[in-house]
Amino acid sequence: MAPEFALAGAGFAALLALIAVRCPVALAMLVVGAAGYYYIVGLEPLLNYLKTTPFFLFANYTLSIIPLFILMGALAERGGLARDLFAAANALFGHRRGGMAMGVIAACAGFGAVCGSSVATTATFGRAALPELRRYGYDPGFATGTIAVGGTLGILIPPSVILVVYAISTEQNIAKLFMAALIPGLMATLFYILAIAALVRRRPELGPPARDAVPAEERREAVRNVLPVLAIAVVVVGGIYGGIFTPTESAAVGCAATLAVGLARRTLHARHVREALLATAETTAMIFAILLGAEVFNAFLALSQAPDLLAVWITERGWPPYLVLSTLLLAYLVLGAVMDELAMILLTLPVFFPVVTALDFGLAGQEETAIWFGILVLVVVGIGLTAPPIGLNVFVISGLARDVPIAQTYRGVVPFLAMDLVRLALCVAFPALSLWLVRLLS
């Protein structure tokens, strides 16, 4: 087993070295994967592989869901749906201590149902909510930290681009993964709100009441304004859960509905649609480039046989399955703090996934294990988006609030990270939190 592990280890070391010198992740994986492939089987098989793989990879019908969900989120952002969600949440909760921060979390959860990107959710609410939080005297670090963690709900609440990539990489059912993500995503929303309530109870100056209670008519008007957003979310997610649409069809329906709502309310103009299409093309191209690089790198790992041999070796050791799982999740937490979440998943799944599915967790087959592990990966990815020293969401919100030191924002996210670790422990200890809805609806 030593030569296989040595070869795979050298590949990982070379990949991390290229990433460390700021080589694009997609290019780094492509170069290292191609070099490893060439080393094992030669030039002609490598050229034959590269001649056919890109076409068959990108001709996959399932991949069309990625640009559709990205476009839906881009249209929702430019159509003012996020602004309406925050206005409604603020009208309902803003008069309470910490209420505006709770409103940010609730609005992020609602926006997450029509936007599968955490970065887009963070940037959107950084523009829509941060000025209001600052205007009403919220602590700057608390305000930016709340928006950063609220942005993670963009991937935790289905639909989620990260889950789509996981499903394609591991050949799992996207609809079942979306079902499995709902309860952990709602738990995240609840836990964040509880964290805010506890913080402002202990330190009232962090989130003073924003205003007196909003008149009933104004609250009703604010709620009426978000009914289209909620309707889109119900159609998109409910259509998948009910078996009415496939995930791809649901994404297409969601795009059309978001565009129709924006045009009907005259909040979307030709310029906004053009911007949304360009942003979608740029993001999709980045994701597809990483997918291609990961595909070539994974082919190199498969030829080395290191992942399968590692799974067999760990199984033969007889280690407790939950000990192995905890070790892998700890590795994800460490990697998530220093790497891009998409690259991290695509880089590690070829090694981690065979190990997890080879273990016996007492679930009903490998499919349940794969779905459960996907949700755990999603949770740790969410933690990595706000954890120091990288925390992509923290950098996004810091770019919008340049007067707030990034260390202050990191202090603001610490209480939420504690709640994330509690939620992760619960999801590990009780797989039914992820699998109950899958079992019920399947």
Distance CA 414, CA 24 (A): 30
pLDDT at 194: 94
Question: pLDDT digits over 59-114, tens only?
Answer: 888 888 888 888 888 888 888 787 888 778 777 776 778 888 888 898 888 888 88
**Torsion of Cα atoms, 240 then 422 then 389 then 181, to 10°:** -10
Q: Is 311 helix (H, G, I), strand (E, B) or coil?
A: helix
Distance CA 235, CA 257 (A): 9
Distance CA 210, CA 212 (A): 7
Percent of the chain clearing pLDDT 70 (strictly above): 97
Question: pLDDT digits over 225-255, tens only?
Answer: 888 888 888 888 888 888 888 888 888 998 9
Q: Which of 6-20, 134-148, 205-219 has the lowest average pLDDT?
A: 205-219
pLDDT at 190: 94
pLDDT at 417: 92
Question: pLDDT digits over 386-417, tens only?
Answer: 888 777 888 888 888 888 888 888 898 999 99
Q: What is the DSSP secondary structure assignment for residue 387, as one 8-state letter?
A: S
Res. 422 pLDDT band, cuts 50 70 90:
very high
Global confidence as pTM:
0.86
pLDDT at 192: 94
Show the tokens assigned to 318.
């007889």
Distance CA 408, CA 394 (A): 10
Q: List CB contacts of 425: < 8 A, sequence separation 6 or more.
A: none
Give the mean pLDDT of the chain: 85
Q: 110 with 85: CB under 8 angstroms?
A: yes
HEC profile of 163-188: HHHHHHHHCCCHHHHHHHHHHHHHHH
CA 361 from centre of chain: 25
Show the tokens assigned to 122.
């963070």
Distance CA 240, CA 233 (A): 11
Q: Which of 236-240, 258-262, 306-310, 347-351 has the lowest average pLDDT?
A: 306-310
Q: 152 with 385: CB under 8 angstroms?
A: yes
Q: Is 42 helix (H, G, I), strand (E, B) or coil?
A: coil
pLDDT at 2: 61
Residue holding tokens 């290229």?
18
Q: List CB contacts of 230: < 8 A, sequence separation 6 or more.
A: 110
> For the chain, what is the domain count?
1
Q: Is the pLDDT of residue 268 over 70?
A: yes
One-character DSSP codes across 312-357:
HHHHHHT--HHHHHHHHHHHHHHHHTTS-HHHHHHHHHHHHHHHHH
Domain that holds residue 344: 2-441
pLDDT at 241: 85
Q: Is 63 helix (H, G, I), strand (E, B) or coil?
A: helix
